[in-house]
Amino acid sequence: MFHLIVITSFILIQTYLTVKVYRFISEFFKNLKIKRILSFTLLTIITYFNLSFIFIIFFYDSKPNQHSDFAFYTFFYPSGVWFGMSILLFLIFMIKDIILLIYKSFYYIVKKLFIQKARKTETNFSESRRKFLKGLSAGLALPPIFGSLYGVAMDSSEFEITTNRIKFYNLPAKLKGLKIAQLSDIHAGIYLRKKKIVEAVKIVNKLNPDIIVLTGDYILNSERYIYPCIEAFSKLKATIGIYSCIGNHDNMVNRELIVKELKSANLNILIEENQKLSYNGQEFYVAGTEDLWYPIKPNLKKALKDIPEESFKILLSHQPDIFDEAVKRNVNLTLSGHTHGGQISIPFFGMPLNIVMFVTHYISGLFKKDKSYLYVNNGIGFVGPPFRLNVPPEISLITLI
Ligand SMILES: [Fe+2]
């Protein structure tokens, strides 16, 4: 059923875009030969991407991380990028068409009400309007196309290593200098391959962290990708240990298997529980919660059970919206992911626009409330289009001071 919905929406979007581009070619190019060549090229490209994408939907978990680079770069990845680009183009053209429809309706009413005046200006206005709309359509298509390509080339490959030195109120002196590295939202799958996770692991190890935390969503939509993910994680090195929590994708796909694999790899998955740790002889605690979208809601009281009130507490929660409750329970530092920082974030006068802004205000980075801090890591992988724009994959390092 899920496959059917995805394929139907994809075909509808593709048909809509094909008609749009075909109409643009027909209006813009007067030479019949050029028109035919362009239409044929367009049809070939769209057919190739559509068939590839439908193939991927059915075979995405057939050979986890064993597809060759050739298959990946000529087949899987371009189709995925095209899928993302088409959604952006579709949204932009839909918005334009809706605005145009409202405008046309308004113009029709005005014309009806003021017939004489409208008749006088109709011819000139329609001609100039057609020219304007033709230019507008071409103009509107450029940002998603170049944005997606820029995202693929610039913001999806290189890791961004963010470092934050956070001054905590009443931090025990012996905890000063404690380094916590965070990886989140790996989303291992057809587009996020083992070598990318291996690369991230190498970078994390070079940071020499005392603790490494993994804040959920290890896989995208197939449980089979947990194995290459765990294989890569097995090389992680931290002086105190590695601690993890569960994400919504893990719960959706196969919670039991993912919990089992994380446990057997000594990645200390914490679901409504905590562990006492020690740094320079000073004890502190790391706790983990259930994901907010799991049918059984997180129980912070249980997660923080038996932790002495004055102890320094770190909470791992896949989704950042737990933060308000964590503040009330005197958690010192909450570490989350889930948002991908919006994944595709469009700069807009210092206030980036992305889809996550409608879901939470804890989108990315560091937040402070009372004496508590929250850090939201932008993650590494993708959900939906296999690229990022303005939000590179992130490895974060927090030092307590
Ligand atoms: Fe998530």
Query: What pLDDT score was predicted for residue 306?
Result: 96
Question: If you average pLDDT over every residue of the chain, what do you get?
Answer: 87
Q: In this structure, how many other beta carbons lie within 10 angstroms of the beta carbon of residue 114?
A: 10
Can you read off the two tokens belonging to residue 235?
Answer: 């090389």
384 CA distance to ligand 1 middle (Å): 12
CA dist list (Å): 10 to 13, 161, 295, 384: 5, 35, 30, 12
Residue 387 has pLDDT above 70, yes or no: yes
292 CA distance to ligand 1 middle (Å): 10
317 CA distance to ligand 1 middle (Å): 10
Residue 122 has pLDDT above 60, yes or no: no
Query: What pLDDT score was predicted for residue 115?
Result: 66
216 CA distance to ligand 1 middle (Å): 7
Residue 352 has pLDDT above 90, yes or no: no
Residue 267 has pLDDT above 80, yes or no: yes
| CATH architecture classification, 161-400 | 4-Layer Sandwich (3.60)
374 CA distance to ligand 1 middle (Å): 16
2 CA distance to ligand 1 middle (Å): 19
91 CA distance to ligand 1 middle (Å): 23
247 CA distance to ligand 1 middle (Å): 5
246 CA distance to ligand 1 middle (Å): 9
3-state secondary structure of 334: strand
Can you read off the two tokens belonging to residue 361?
Answer: 């205000």
CA dist list (Å): 186 to 189, 214, 387: 9, 9, 13
- Min mean pLDDT across 84-88, 118-122, 234-238, 282-286 is at 118-122
Residue 335 to residue 186: CA distance in whole angstroms: 15
Residue 364 to residue 356: CA distance in whole angstroms: 10
φ, ψ dihedrals at 269, nearest 5° = -70, 130
Residue 189 has pLDDT above 80, yes or no: yes
Spatial CA neighbour of 290 closest among 267, 268, 260, 322: 322
123 compared with 55, residue with greater pLDDT:
55
Specify the pTM: 0.84
217 CA distance to ligand 1 middle (Å): 5
Residue 30 has pLDDT above 90, yes or no: no
Residue 61 to residue 51: CA distance in whole angstroms: 17
318 CA distance to ligand 1 middle (Å): 7
Domain ranges of the chain: 2-155, 161-400
335 CA distance to ligand 1 middle (Å): 13
Spatial CA neighbour of 267 closest among 296, 231, 297, 315: 231
- Tell me the pLDDT band of 126, cut-offs 50, 70 and 90: low
